[in-house]
Structure 1
Amino acid sequence: MRIAHNITALNAWRNLNLVSSQLGKSVEKISSGYRINKAADDPAGLVISENLRAEIAGMDQAINNTQDGISMIQTAEGALTEIHSLLDSMRALALHAANTAAVTSEAIAADQQQMDSAIDSINRIATTTAYAGKKLLDGSVGKKVEIKNTNIVATASVGQANAPGISYVKVVVTTAATKANLGLSTGLHFTSAGQTVKDAGGLATGSTTTLNINGVSVTISGGMTASAVKSAINTALAASGVSIRAYFMSAGSISDFGNISESNSSGYLALVYTGGYGDDYLIDLYDSGGIIVDTGAGTFTHHARGTNIGGYFEYKRVDNSGTTYTHVNATGDGLTLEGNDDTALDGLQITLNSGYNAAATYTDVVRLYGDTTQFQIGADQGETYSFTIGNMTPSELGSDYTTNHDAGQRGLLALKTGGDYALASDPQSAIEVIDEAISDVSNERAKLGAIQAQVLESNYRNLGITRENLQASESRIRDVDMAKEMMEFTKNNVLTQAATAMLAQANTLPNTVLTLLR
């Protein structure tokens, strides 16, 4: 028998420590409800669980974001509903005014007052409807397209066009090549992907202007087609003996702007050239200001702002990074008109030379940027949805029908007092403009409704199901099985009591040595 070391007591003490530790872990798990409270409990399970927790937190925010998107659309759609009601009442007024056989001028004047008030109300709704401080119907929530700043360096002059406006173009023949740096900075804004930007200038139908070309006067009437203008110029110049000619370059075409697609803020969307390699596409340059995009005719007309430009530029193609693939080397050989025979003349390009070659580098790309409505509707990077809300202001509603843009009479504005389609002037055209506006609003509401029902609400339901499944997975990994853990707790509690009793008994064993010492 030994008294220096009580091995039996040490063994009981070690077992007591083990079961006490296990009992403590059971108490921690039962009291917290988690099987994993620290990395040591289950390192691999902790990694999976934390990843799932991050995904669940992302799902929660994505659900909130989707609800925000639904609320935004509901706000916009509610305002559009009121605009629809106003348009319906405006149409009734126009129909009443069109009944000229039974309506007095005083009644038409009263109808016009109501029409003006309704248009003002539409403008107020469109310019003030907002969600979280962002205007929804004034065109700011939509695609914006800008023309990148452009530099043109001409190494030879082939004629200078002095164009204070499309109503007067004078071409002066030069006899010596001069180097010039012509800087351009132009901009274009689309309020929605499908909008057509139309001629911001030009002659009104029925008016005339005179082109003075090298001393030869040519009279042009508003509403003439490009073909008629070409013929008039060629006829006048041929009679004067001037050796120049007018012709059209139409072998290629530019992709329809109505099909513009979404792009991030750092990328550029090229005007993709679809003609053959040898086909020329002329870009119109003059200083009346503005840009014309004619999706119906497939032409892209580029006007310089405040710069006198003479030249003949060949446009090849630009990639999505904004790189121009072709440097232009062109020879001007006559008077060139750019346009289409079957459309009214949008713009005029005059090129007149004395046998000099023109060499130029032209860089011009279209970039989509900013202010599209984008919602993060998923829990991971890139899981976004973007959409646009069209411009519902009076100047845009029904604008496909109206043409007098210079006078500020686009869209419904042409129906106001003094407008081209005021009730006293042309109630039939007013009806057509209103019908076009109703179609615009209906299409916008249908688009927003489809986005809400088929995209956002569907995504909301899917996120809820996905979150539930992720939470179940995380629970299976991290949560404690209470029944199993209570069983472990009971076992460890009994073992702790037994170990404590045995340790007490083991500590009394050395006392038996005293009987030998008596």
Structure 2
Amino acid sequence: MSLKVNNNIAALSSQRYLTENDRKLAQSLERLASGFKINRAADSPAGLVVSEQLRGQIAGIDQAIANSESATAMVQTTEASLSEVNNLLVRVRQLALHASNVGANDQSALEADQLEISNAIDAISRISRESQFGRRNLLDGSTGVTGGASGAGLSFVSASQYTRTSPIQGYQVEIEQVASRAYMEGGTEITESNLPGMTLTLEEGGRTAQVQSSEGDTPNSLVGKLKREAERAGLNLDITLTPAGTLYVQHREYGSAPTFRAGSNVAGVLSESGSGLEVATLGADVQGRLGGEIARGMGQLLIGQSGSENTDGLQVRYIGALVAVGEEGPDGRPIFERQPQPGIAGTINVANNALTFQTGPNAGQSTLVALPLSSPNFLGRKVTNASGFSSLADVDVRTTAGAADTLKITDAAVDELTLARGRLGAFQRNNLEKNIATLRVTAENLMAAESTIRDADVAEELTTYTKNRILFDASAAMLAQANTIPGKVLELIR
């Protein structure tokens, strides 16, 4: 060992260790004080990047949860208003039934019923006009999807929140195949010779109607008996004896789904074999395009397919234009019937004002919902009635026919409203509530991951702190000892 005065290597080494131990001790104290093991980028550059990304995701998820809860509150407010409208419709229906009891009602009772119905309709109109969430109207149609049709025999049915607003000229409706109904036509004429003992059987929707000819029956009377029996059994069929004397049976509903079976014990009158029931010739669904996009047919409904760019969820009905056929009727007016034809049926205009909720933590993760229009002028619009009521707003129970038609329109309005409430309930349950539950689990997992990267393990840091404190004290003591070594040179001089 050599003794030197100018350079004390032992002291320099001790000082270096003291500086390093001081840095480590300060780092341990910082981590214990802050609770984080990453307090600056230099602590862990890669860990900081991942941690900050996770923190951003967690903050986004927290806001998405708050957004979903706000959307849930709006849907619940809307549903509560619709519930009150539903209660008012139930009361209108009750009053219509009371007014239908003509044997016990006088004119003053009918006037009282009509007065209460008018008040209920005014209340429905007020709820539709004034229901709000904050300053946003809910049931006046400003937050829904509306539409209209231009074209003979073409009507707008509905649209979903995914249907895009149409251009000014509307979406062109092109019919490639018209809808038809299931039918069965006999090839054998019903005559006086084959009439005795003839049995005719129809089966539709799980219900059966059967008649047998009796003495004195004619072809017309037997077909009349079959019609009455079919009506009594609730069969949804039209039955006709053609001018040629053959039997023609047709389903009342359009499309490939509605069908029936028929048979006769005389070959060719209905079934060809004369034994057992045979399935009718199936009808066809309408086929075509909406706005140039292929649509799906269901009876007379043409429905925009899921995933279509513009017409997803759009529903239109095509029944064909009225065309004068045959000779004039008994009243001297021409006889008209619907004759749907392939080709351009018209246009549909759609205005989509559906609400958009940001329910996810990233761009594009949004959900749409359209709120219904509950105005009396809108409810019950599509009900055909003898009184000429165009909607719930027009009903009048002061006549027997008016009371009956009010009942029809009210039932339709209840159906429309309950369907809208069901859609909102499904949206709340399946979209919002499930989304909130999923986001909370995701946030929990992301917090666990971020904590693993960024949070300090206190037990581990205390162990490290104790070690660094001992090393710091030891290096300080050794530096003091090393600084005394050059003094030994003086002892040699003495």
Asked if Structure 1 and Structure 2 have the same fold, meaning a TM-score greater than 0.5 normalized by the shorter chain, the answer is yes
- Coordinate RMSD, CA, aligned: 4.0
Deviation at 1:498, TM superposition (A): 0.8
Distance of 1:79 and 1:255 partners within structure 2: 29
Name the residue aligned to 1:271: 172
Q: Highest Rg: 1 or 2?
A: 2
Amino acid in the other structure paired with 1:104: D
Distance of 1:71 and 1:33 partners within structure 2: 38
> Residue 372 of structure 1 is aligned with which of 346, 354, 362?
354
Deviation at 1:77, TM superposition (A): 0.9
Is 1:413 aligned with 2:396?
no
Distance of 1:261 and 1:388 partners within structure 2: 5
Superposed CA deviations along residues 211-247 of structure 1, whole A, max 9, x for unmatched, are xxxxxxxxxxxxxxx9xxxxxxxxxxxxxxxxxxxxx
1:426 alignment partner, SS class: helix
Q: Residues 428 and 266 from structure 1, CA distance in 2 versus in 1: closer, same or farther, beyond 3 angstroms? A: closer
Amino acid in the other structure paired with 1:275: E
Q: Residues 266 and 443 from structure 1, CA distance in 2 versus in 1: closer, same or farther, beyond 3 angstroms? A: closer
Deviation at 1:366, TM superposition (A): 6.3
Is 1:483 aligned with 2:459?
yes
> Residue 262 of structure 1 is aligned with which of 162, 183, 202?
162
Superposed CA deviations along residues 114-136 of structure 1, whole A, max 9, x for unmatched, are 11110011111111111132111
Deviation at 1:78, TM superposition (A): 0.7
Is 1:492 aligned with 2:468?
yes
Say if 1:255 and 1:272, in contact at 8 Å, map to a contact too: no
Deviation at 1:263, TM superposition (A): 4.9
Name the residue aligned to 2:54: 52
Deviation at 1:516, TM superposition (A): 2.6
Amino acid in the other structure paired with 1:54: G
Say if 2:99 and 2:403, in contact at 8 Å, map to a contact too: yes
Distance of 1:140 and 1:404 partners within structure 2: 32
Same amino acid, percent of matched pairs? 35
Mapping of residues 63-212 of structure 1, within 5 Å: 63-143=65-145, 189-190=146-147, 197=148
Q: Residues 100 and 267 from structure 1, CA distance in 2 versus in 1: closer, same or farther, beyond 3 angstroms? A: closer
Say if 1:108 and 1:424, in contact at 8 Å, map to a contact too: no
Q: Residues 513 and 395 from structure 1, CA distance in 2 versus in 1: closer, same or farther, beyond 3 angstroms? A: same
Distance of 1:68 and 1:506 partners within structure 2: 70
Name the residue aligned to 2:445: 469
Superposed CA deviations along residues 371-406 of structure 1, whole A, max 9, x for unmatched, are 21111111112211111111111111111116899x
Distance of 2:26 and 2:451 partners within structure 1: 22
Distance of 2:26 and 2:399 partners within structure 1: 88
Q: How many residues align?
A: 351
Amino acid in the other structure paired with 2:472: T
Say if 1:414 and 1:422, in contact at 8 Å, map to a contact too: no
Greater fraction of residues in strand:
2
Deviation at 1:255, TM superposition (A): 11
Name the residue aligned to 1:234: none
Deviation at 1:275, TM superposition (A): 2.2
Say if 1:255 and 1:271, in contact at 8 Å, map to a contact too: no
2:176 alignment partner, SS class: coil
Name the residue aligned to 2:21: 19
Name the residue aligned to 2:190: none
Say if 1:33 and 1:480, in contact at 8 Å, map to a contact too: yes
1:62 alignment partner, SS class: helix
Superposed CA deviations along residues 345-381 of structure 1, whole A, max 9, x for unmatched, are 99xxxxxxxxxxxxxxx9x986766521111111112
Name the residue aligned to 2:488: 512
Deviation at 1:47, TM superposition (A): 1.4
Gaps of 5+ in 1: 144-188, 191-196, 201-225, 227-249, 282-294, 300-318, 323-337, 347-361
Q: Residues 270 and 29 from structure 1, CA distance in 2 versus in 1: closer, same or farther, beyond 3 angstroms? A: farther
Q: TM-score, normalised by structure 1?
A: 0.60
Name the residue aligned to 1:431: 407
Mapping of residues 25-40 of structure 1, within 5 Å: 25-40=27-42
Is 1:8 aligned with 2:21?
no
Name the residue aligned to 2:254: none
Name the residue aligned to 1:442: 418
Is 1:401 aligned with 2:302?
no
Superposed CA deviations along residues 415-451 of structure 1, whole A, max 9, x for unmatched, are 2xxx5x6567610101111111111111111111111
Amino acid in the other structure paired with 2:356: Q
Amino acid in the other structure paired with 1:142: G
Amino acid in the other structure paired with 1:271: Q
